[in-house]
A and B are shown apart, each in its own frame.
Chain A
Amino acid sequence: MLKLENVSITFNANTVNERKALRNINLDVKDGDFITVIGSNGAGKSTLMNAISGAYPIDEGSIYLDGKNITSLKEHKRATRIGRLFQDPLRGTAPNMTIEENLGLAYSRGKRRSLMPGIRKKDIGFFREKLSELDLGLEDRMKTPVGLLSGGQRQALTLLMATIVTPKLLLLDEHTAALDPKTAEKVMELTERIVKKDNITTIMITHNINNALKYGNKTLVMSQGKIILEIEGEERKNMTVEKLMKLYSDNADDSMSDKMLL
Chain B
Amino acid sequence: MVTLAERSIVATAPPIVGARLDVREVDHGFVLNGEDLPVLEDVSFGVAPGEFVALLGPSGCGKSTLLRLVAGLDQPRHGHLVVDGEEVTEPDPSRVVVFQDPTLYPWRTVWRNASLGLEARGLLKQQRSRVDEALALVGLDRFAHVYPHQLSGGMAQRASLARALVNDPKLLILDEPLGKLDSLTRLAMQSELTRLWQTRGFTVLMVTHDVEEALLLSNRVIVFSDRPARLRADLVVDLPYPRHRDHPELLRLRREILGLLGLGGDW
Q: Answer yes or no: are A and B bound together in one complex.
A: no
